[in-house]
Amino acid sequence: MNAPTELPSLPTIADVEDAARQLRGIAVRTPVLENPLLNEKLGGRLLLKAEPLQLAGSFKFRGAYNRISRLSAAERQRGVVAYSSGNHAQGTAYAAKICGTPAVIVMPADAPEIKIANTRAYGAEVVLYDRYKEDREEIGKRYARDRGMTVVPPFNDPYIISGQGTIGLEIAVQCAERDGKPDVVVAPASGGGLIAGVSLAIKDRHPDCAVYCAEPDKFDDISRSLAAGKICSHDGSGKTFCDALMAPHPGDITYGVMSTNLAGGVTATDDEVEIAIATAFHYFKLVVEPGGAVALASILNGKIPCAKRTVVAVASGGNIDSTLFSEIIGRTKPV
Amino acid sequence: MNAPTELPSLPTIADVEDAARQLRGIAVRTPVLENPLLNEKLGGRLLLKAEPLQLAGSFKFRGAYNRISRLSAAERQRGVVAYSSGNHAQGTAYAAKICGTPAVIVMPADAPEIKIANTRAYGAEVVLYDRYKEDREEIGKRYARDRGMTVVPPFNDPYIISGQGTIGLEIAVQCAERDGKPDVVVAPASGGGLIAGVSLAIKDRHPDCAVYCAEPDKFDDISRSLAAGKICSHDGSGKTFCDALMAPHPGDITYGVMSTNLAGGVTATDDEVEIAIATAFHYFKLVVEPGGAVALASILNGKIPCAKRTVVAVASGGNIDSTLFSEIIGRTKPV
């Protein structure tokens, strides 16, 4: 996957299929959920790919394992380093554990206790930093340099993208098992690793299917990038409780894939995400975290119409604090 | 399945396998969930069969569909009647809808709004009764007599038991897929339809596996019956929020199967069930209702030791009110 030009080498469907072989028997083949009453309300067919049921509670395990399991014996011995406040931390820590590789995870000192505790429980060494004064990438690079560790990037990496793309392969098979053909597939996006990978699989299996990314309102850097035809950042004016989806802009590799494969981007507000969380609770009995519910929210708020179509939404993670979940479920009604 | 003696005709593994053929492509093959951090805490392997992800939110759909889909064209035209305050109501209503059969569901007037609304949404005619003054069986029988409707009993029926038993067949296959062999299988029990069916499948596929039922503390009529060697009632002194598990005693058919196949019964208190609900939320991202969490609770409270063994617990349903779930998650820590 190395190219000697300044354009990045983009992963292909063959890489995604290769990742699927690598992950077979390791990652969970998460179910696709459907509810007849909700379908009736929407006037169409909504299928929810349930990645909260993935190992370590989100899709992140797939890409991390696909990356780490490719390391040479010598690289494995030196270990891996990643920076993340949440799902990528836990996914990388657990993938490293399975691969028998030491892992250093650089996390903000004010990250939720439970995420730090889980990352440690998976056997990783957690290095805390001050997110207002220190640069996590700098710290990560220092570990890479000093200990010879391999960086496991959160999204802008062909192996990471291909690993997340296995979700798209599963969606294609699971739709066929249910006598369905997806008209639209939508997944949450921060740096775009998930939706880029999913788009590789879906556009190969269903070229006519429209693939969208869903972002929190005001964190619409991918939507802007796709509209402008070049990598853009969001304007930095927004606030959101979708803590997993705050990357400032896509990477050159994720953008390269998305610019070819995506029909566009849609957004949802925090209030709409709360309704999506309550809806997933009520109709699907599934715990979804804010960032994981943005794609579902973009269907329920009408940005992705579902009437007379089959729409697949990826629920990408379920690592939400019990206090916040309790509050949301207590105050918010499902659609 | 009719015998001219006074002993009931008991379903067999052949009936369960037949039910699996009947349900293929209709019922959801619910996943088996596992969490490495929880396994580490327990010192063993815990697999959770996730029936909240079943159609209509609980295992009840399986038995109801297996019963209703066997009706003759004439019987289907006259319709079915069931009495239930919760999961059996919704499961029967949705199974009847799929079979194109009218359904009358007799429900207590003070049942949760949402369960009544869902049952109606599945197209059933809901008949409300006063649970302190009227007899729901009487009302059900009246509909059976006056309209020629077929009663769909909640548990004491060979087709119902066989339908629920398909969960056991899936557990056997899913354990094999995960390189596991179950040492113990435990499921919640009220009248015993679920665990009786599951036991038929498990004892056929894994004769050495111990099968237990789990009941709420003080609602231990099956545990008592198994210990006494005859059908017993619980003493009626208890209170529980496991509203799905309050049958006074097992039926003659469920008891007949259980007395052969079960190693015994275990119990859990409401506080222990709350911890199980919080644990399912935290580790499995799954919404489980109180009655659905009793088997998991009986593992976490130590009644079913998990150390150095593979234990499968059935989470049987997820139809819990958002207010109650919010309260439990807000106040209760997972193990």
Is the ipTM, as predicted for this complex, more than 0.85? Answer: yes
Distance CA A153, CA A163 (A): 13
| pLDDT tens, residue by residue, B189-246 | 999 999 999 999 999 999 999 999 999 999 999 999 999 999 999 988 888 888 778 8
| pLDDT tens, residue by residue, B12-32 | 999 999 999 999 999 999 999
Residues 6+ apart with CB under 8 A from B296: B48, B276, B279, B280, B288, B313, B315
Structure tokens at B158: 């060979």
Q: How many CA atoms lie within 13 A of A294 on its CB side?
A: 31
How close A328 comes to chain B (CA, Å)?
Answer: 8
- Of A14-23, A257-266, B5-14, least confident by mean pLDDT is B5-14
- Report pLDDT for B79: 97
- Report pLDDT for A2: 47
Residues of A with CB under 8 A from a CB of B: 28, 30-31, 33, 36-37, 40, 50, 52-53, 55, 57, 94, 118, 121-122, 278, 281-282, 284-288, 318, 322-323, 325-327, 329-330
- Report pLDDT for B5: 52
Structure tokens at B251: 């039926």
Structure tokens at B227: 């210990």
Determine, for residues B36 and A322 on separate chains, whether the beta-carbon distance falls below 8 Å: no
Residue A162 scores a pLDDT above 60: yes
A31 vs B contacts (CB less than 8 Å): 28, 30-31, 53
Residue B4 scores a pLDDT above 50: no
Residues of B with CB under 8 A from a CB of A: 28, 30-31, 33, 36-37, 40, 50, 52-53, 55, 57, 94, 118, 121-122, 278, 281-282, 284-288, 318, 322-323, 325-327, 329-330
Cβ density class A99-137: b for 16+ within 10 Å, e for less: bebbbbbbbbeebbeebbebbebbbbebbebeeeeeebe
Contact B51/B198 with Cβ under 8 angstroms? no
Which residue intervals of B179-309 are DSSP H helices? Answer: 193-205, 221-228, 252-261, 270-279, 294-300
Contact A126/A162 with Cβ under 8 angstroms? no
CB contacts < 8 A (A, B): 76
Reported as a pLDDT band with limits 50, 70 and 90, residue A143 is very high
Average pLDDT over residues A73-97: 94
Which of A35, A39, A54, A285 has the highest number of chain B CBs within 10 A, making it the mutation to test binding with B?
A: A285
- Report pLDDT for A4: 47
Return mean pLDDT, chain A.
94
Average pLDDT over residues A175-190: 95
